[in-house]
Every structure is written in structure tokens, then in C-alpha cells.
Structure 1
Amino acid sequence: MIEVKPADEKEIYQIITDAKLSRQKIGIIGFGKHLRREFKCDITLSTINLNNFEIKDNKVIADSGADVQKIREEAIQKNLLFPSIYDGSVGGLLALNEISSLSTAFGTPWDFTEWVDFITTFGKIRWRIVIGSQGLFGVITKATMKLYERPKKVYIYEKEIDDKKEFKFQIRKLATLKPLALLVEYDGNKKSFKIHASYTYEYELEGYTKDEGVPIISEVSDKNSYVIEIYDFIEDFLNIVDKVSPYYMYGIYGVNVVKVYVTDETLLKGFNYYSRNDAHPLFYKLKRIFDFYNIFA
């Protein structure tokens, strides 16, 4: 397997063209550790040399290999907020459409990204449709993303409960207060819910511990993990708990998916789901159009 590190879009297109002619497979990598989908390829294309970015007019224009953490740090110096806690490259963030606890207030990368350039066998295309595709049909090269006013202070409130009626009441109450972040976890062993809510204002919330900051999603492994699409956060979350009994599950209020961990995939029958190691099924259909020659692994 050969690893290539192109310096610009022209080089990327040439690599793709050569791979098409020689019928070789290309796998796209950044520098993060978030790639879940396994692939076999002849060429790994690294975006590490496409690492420039510029912050201007409450936006960041960034190459796909730019470091999200560095963007976040520079944004803070300008009193701006980059709405993700991702710690890899811009390309990885967009390829995964990675959610974070801040997705409650700002949405997923799809929501705060204005445009994306990506290279296919047909040339360069500017279209957000590539967000979430995990490199199935093109190489992301550049994007413009929105930045927001940075809050002066953020307070986090946390509580563990085991009553479903109380769970409904608490989530509805917290949601009306317009949280910056609202992360909900379910522990199947304890059969309890952990609620983490962050606000830019202080509130008196009975039974909650209070600190400063936002909740962090911590996942040790993607093994036995699946993504389930939902429509009503509270009712669907509880419905999955009742019907699936996962050993762990979490969701971000305002996002239409939850992440579920089960040892028996057949328990998910009847739900719209896919493996966390795969892209959404829609992108496999789009691959037939954008990657007609099937060179992207």
C-alpha cells in the first residue's frame, strides 16, 4: 500500500485520475483517530499537507487537513466559538458529520458549514452533500464554517435519575431554558439516566450538581455500537430503552440520532439504524453517482 500526501487540489485530482486508469482503490485519511469504517485500499491519501485556515468575518475558511483544535484556539483569542469539541482534522469532522454536546445549540457540522469543496473522478464539486460521507466518493479539500460569539461563562448541571416520568419532566424543563448543550446517557446496568445540561446563565435547579463547562462525550470503543434515527427525542429515547434494553446509550437533545450499544443486533429490528462503523445508507447510493468508477474505498 502506498501513502501519498498531496499539497493541493491539482495533485489530488491527478492521483484520482491515475488510480482510475490503473484500477486502484483510494482510502482517505486525516490525522485524527476517529475513522470507524474499515477499508482496504491500494493508496492511502493523507490530507495532512492541506492544513491552512483563516478566520475572518465570524467564519473560518479551512483546508481539510487543518487542525480543529488550532482553529478553536485561534477563535477563542478573537472571542469566538467554534461549535465543536472534535480533536482531529476539518476533513474528518465533516466526513463524519461528528456530533458533540454543543450540537444542541449549534447543530451538527452540516448545520454550521456553509460550503464544502471536494474532488471526485469528475473534478471539483462545491456541495454540502459530501458531509457525513466518510470519503466514500470524494476527497474533501476546503470548507467554510460559521463561528459564534463566545459565551463569557458556561455552567453545567448534572443529575442521575431512574424514573422515566421524572426523566420526561426534567428534559422538558431543561429544554425550555434553551441549553447550550444537553447530553443524556442511559446506563443499562444501573437502569438509570444521567443528564448533563450547560447554560450561559446560572439557574437554581433542584437536585442538580453545578460546575463550569460543557459535557464531553467519552466513548472507549465502537464495538457493538449502532446509530438509530429518531424524531421525538424524549419519546423515542425511552422507546429504545424499553424495546432494546441497551447496555449503554446516549443522545444529544436537538440531534435526530442516538448512539446505542447492544450485544445482539437483532434487538434493533424495527428501528431505522446502521452500524456506527458505517456511513448513512444514503451515501452508498450517492457513491454510485459520484464514484462511478468505484475507486474510493
Structure 2
Amino acid sequence: MIEVNPADENEVFQIISESKKENKKVGIRGFGAHTKREIKPDIIIVTTERLNNFEISENKVIADSGADVKKIREEASQKDLLLPSIYDGSIGGLLALNEISSLSTAYGTPWNFTEWVDFITAFGKIRWRIVIGSQGLFGVITKASLRLYERPNKVFIYERGITDKREFKHELRKLIGLKPIALLVEYEGDSKTFEVHASYITQLELEGYSKDEGIPMISEVSDKNSYIVEIGDFVEDFISVAEKVSPYYMYGIYGVNLLKVYVTDDSLLKDFKYYPRNKPHPVFYKLKRILDFYNIFT
């Protein structure tokens, strides 16, 4: 493995051009501890550590791909602005994964709050949001413009565990009707319990729920045995996957038509549209044939 650390977009393009001439594969690495893949010894790894500048102006941030999401979030907060992500890596990683968070309920995924993205291919620089979620399949993300939002003064979180499916359905639809800023639902296979975590910018009286300040956090340790399942109706399909698949764990964010499901045998998902969590959506492999015509990126 050869690791290179370009300082600007020209150097990125030069690295890609030389890799094309030498018929070598290129991979991309930020600094987030998220999706991991096996790295082969003959791959050239482009790191984005030196591409780390960002500037906040009015209601947006223009950031290099190596800029720290946490630092942007903190600086935006000082200006009473919100970058609606709790991702703890680089901007490039956030966009490459189109990483969802509990705040996706109100603000959507990075696809929704990103204005434009620059990425470098063997043909040069392209400005196109289509690269969001592609996990480095056809280019090196170098810069992006993301919208910022007014930061709420206080956010209240309400949590409850429910075992009865009818009660869960009723409570979930009630919480959705109250327009949460964040709504995370988990399913614990061992106890067959639905754990509900809903956040609002106003205080509510919800019987049977614990109350605190904050937003729900997704605690993940590994992508092993995890799959993304595409769904339509959040409430009905969440219950359907729990019943038909019996995963040992899964979670979903209301507002995003995806569930992350943990199973030891993916054949249990045969009745659903799904793909491995550590790989991009299958549509990106079709786009790769066009945007990475020389099949450089891996």
C-alpha cells in the first residue's frame, strides 16, 4: 500500500492521472472510524488530512473534504447555527457515506442539506451531488457547500421501551404526528422490545416516557452482519422486518426510508430490497462504468 497526502486539487488530479498511466488502483481515506474495507497492498491510498480548510458564511459552510465535521459543528454552534449531523469524521466521509443521524428526521441526509460537491476523476474535476453516498467508487471528493440551520435553544428527548406491537404502532404514529426533530427507533431481538427515542423543541406531556434534554444517539460498534433495508411506510415496514426477519438488532430514523438490520444470515432478508452496509447502493456500480471508465477507484 502506498499512502499519499495531497495538499490541493491539482495534486489529487496528478495522483489519479499517474495511477491511470501505471494501471494502479486508488482508494480514499479520511479519519473517521466508520465503514472499513480490506486494503490490498498494491493500492494507492489518497488521504485528505491536508485538505482541511472550511469557512462559515451566513447560513452555509464551504469545506474541504478533510475538514473535521465536529469542528464545523462547534464553530457553527457559536454562531447559533446547526450543521445537522453528529458524524465524527471528515466532510468527505460524511458525504461519501451519506451518513444518516437522528437529526435526519427533521433535516434529511447529507444529500438533502448539501448544495454542491466537487470531486476529482481521471477526466478532471466535476461538480455534481451524485457522488454523495458513492463511498469513493468513482472519484475523490475535495470540497463541498453545506447548508446550516438555526440552532434550537433547547431540545427535549422522550424515551420508552414497548413490547406490544399494536401499542408500538399507536405510539409511533402519535409521536410522528407531534412533528419530532429526531425520531430513532430500535429493535432488540433478545427481548423483542421496540425502543423509542423522540426529540422535540418544545416540552410535551407524554405518559409513560422518560424525559431529558438532548437528541438520541446511535451507538454502533461494527458493520459486521449489518445490512441496509429499503422501506416504504416507516411504521408498517419496521414491524414487518422485525416479524419476518427476527434480527438480533436493528434501527431506523423516521424520515429516512432505510433500516439498518443486523442478522447472521442475509438470506433472512430475501423478501426485502437490501444491500451490505459496507458497500454503496447498487446503483452506484452502474454509474461507476461512466464516471470511472478506466476503473481506477476501489
Task: Please give the residue correspondences for 1:1-297 in structure 2 after superposition, counting only pairs within 5 Å.
Answer: 1-40=1-40, 41-297=42-298
Matched to 2:75, the amino acid is: E
TM-score (norm 2): 0.98
Contact between 2:104 and 2:182, CA under 8 Å: does it hold in 1? yes
CA–CA separation in structure 2 for the residues paired with 1:272 and 1:149: 36
Unaligned runs of 5+ in 1: none
Residue by residue over 1:198-254, the C-alpha shift from the partner in whole angstroms, topping out at 9 and shown as x without a partner, is 010000000000000001000121111100000110011111011101010100001
CA–CA separation in structure 1 for the residues paired with 2:170 and 2:38: 41
CA–CA separation in structure 2 for the residues paired with 1:39 and 1:95: 17
Contact between 1:183 and 1:253, CA under 8 Å: does it hold in 2? yes
Matched to 2:87, the amino acid is: Y
Shift of 1:14: 0.5
Matched to 1:34, the amino acid is: H
Contact between 1:37 and 1:279, CA under 8 Å: does it hold in 2? no
Shift of 1:35: 2.5
CA–CA separation in structure 2 for the residues paired with 1:168 and 1:220: 28
Matched to 1:19, the amino acid is: S
Contact between 1:159 and 1:194, CA under 8 Å: does it hold in 2? yes
Q: Secondary structure at the match of 1:144?
A: strand
CA–CA separation in structure 2 for the residues paired with 1:74 and 1:112: 18
Contact between 2:185 and 2:194, CA under 8 Å: does it hold in 1? yes
Contact between 1:94 and 1:131, CA under 8 Å: does it hold in 2? yes
Matched to 2:173, the amino acid is: R
Matched to 2:258, the amino acid is: V
Shift of 1:260: 0.3
Matched to 2:31, the amino acid is: F
Q: Secondary structure at the match of 1:260?
A: strand
TM-score (norm 1): 0.99
CA–CA separation in structure 1 for the residues paired with 2:244 and 2:19: 47
CA–CA separation in structure 1 for the residues paired with 2:211 and 2:27: 45
Shift of 1:39: 4.3
Divergent runs of 4+, >6 A: none
Residue by residue over 1:71-113, the C-alpha shift from the partner in whole angstroms, topping out at 9 and shown as x without a partner, is 0000010000110000000000000000000000000000000
Shift of 1:53: 0.3
Shift of 1:37: 3.9
Q: Secondary structure at the match of 2:259?
A: strand
Contact between 2:35 and 2:223, CA under 8 Å: does it hold in 1? no
Residue by residue over 1:145-174, the C-alpha shift from the partner in whole angstroms, topping out at 9 and shown as x without a partner, is 010000000100000000111111111111
Matched to 1:293, the amino acid is: Y
CA–CA separation in structure 2 for the residues paired with 1:223 and 1:13: 34
Contact between 1:38 and 1:277, CA under 8 Å: does it hold in 2? no
Unaligned runs of 5+ in 2: none
Q: Secondary structure at the match of 1:203?
A: coil
Q: Secondary structure at the match of 1:31?
A: coil
Between the two proteins, what is the percent identity of the paired residues? 72
Q: Secondary structure at the match of 1:194?
A: strand
